[in-house]
Amino acid sequence: MNTKKPPIPVSLLMLIGIVAISFSAIFIKWSQAPASIQGMYRLLFTSLLMFPFVRPYSGTISALRLKDWLLLIASGFMLALHFLLWMGSLEYTSVASSTMIMALEPVFIMIGSYILYKERSAVSAIAGLGVAIIGVVFIGWGDIGLSSDSLKGDLLSIFGTVAVAAHLLIGKKLVARMPSYLYSLIVFISAGAVFALYNWTAGIAFFDYPPREWGIFVLLAIVPTVFGHILFNWLLQYTSATTVSMNILGEPVGACILAYLLLRERLSGLQWSGGLLVLGGLACYLYMGSRKEAREAERGNRPSHELETLPESAS
């Protein structure tokens, strides 16, 4: 249990982070640039903001092994793939559908953790994720009634969620041996390089964009990334990983509200029902996860600092 307190109440900082990441899909919808360009500059500008503070980690960088570098590059590739698919999904489906589907990230992490690390989840937690999956089916069914493009967007969001789950599973292995700040910076640079290579081979223009687009690129780096995901990573020193992971539930709610106010997006009754099932199922899963974490901490089977170094997703 963490006893340190930040200079600002954790609850207020969590609210700031949830609002910040909820703007991610809004900025993407506002932009006319290709998703791969948005992703590249979001990562590039975020890396530039982080780079001045990397000096204390220079010793860790020199100690990284070849295997570590290969895993870092693999994590960066999966992060870039996540951005490409999820940001692309917003061209076809609503903000609400895409962000609610992306909230299924714990489902794929649970499956991957079992396959790679033999980690088992409680039956009640699995049941909660099952309810969330049913909710996604409802959302997809509601989108079928809108257009085939909406269903295409839902599928892109699902594949993007699989990609970010793979990114986090790789990160879980790496952050046990290196600071999460350094991990995030190297992975952002790697993912940005993947995007640059993709844009170059696809013949996508790097610079031919109006000032409005450059403003959106900067906003994507500062608001949902710095004041969202990097803030959540910083909060891990003050609260548990399970508490921080509740942003998974906050993002689709915040994104839905913002999409209604700023984009005039509306949902069908079936989509609302699916969204409630997704959020309810994930709440059950996270609640059971917090109980399991508390029991393991009491038994001393797993040090609390290991539970609190998992990197956040980057929507």
What residue spans define the domains of the chain? 10-122+149-266
pLDDT of residue 294: 59
Comparing 265 with 20, which gets the higher pLDDT?
A: 20
pLDDT band at 186 (very low <50, low <70, confident <90, very high): very high
Cβ atoms within 10 Å, residue 109: 21
Cα–Cα distance, 251 to 42 (Å, whole number): 19
Q: What is the pLDDT of residues 2-34, one digit of tens each?
A: 556 777 777 788 888 888 988 998 999 999 999
**pLDDT exceeds cutoff 60 at 236:** yes
- pTM of the prediction? 0.79
- Yes or no: say if 2 and 305 are a contact pair by the CB < 8 Å rule: no
CB contact set of 26 (below 8 Å; sequence gap of 6+): 95, 255, 258, 259, 262, 263
Cα 222 → chain centroid: 15
Lowest-pLDDT range of 98-102, 159-163, 239-243, 278-282: 239-243
Cα–Cα distance, 154 to 146 (Å, whole number): 12
| Tokens at 298, concatenated | 């009491």
CB contact set of 191 (below 8 Å; sequence gap of 6+): 39, 43, 76, 77, 79, 80, 83
What's the mean pLDDT in 67-87? 92
Surface-to-core class of residue 1, CB atoms within 10 Å of its CB (0-12 exposed, 13-18 middle, 19+ buried): exposed
Residue 214 amino acid letter: W
**pLDDT exceeds cutoff 60 at 135:** yes
- Yes or no: say if 26 and 95 are a contact pair by the CB < 8 Å rule: yes
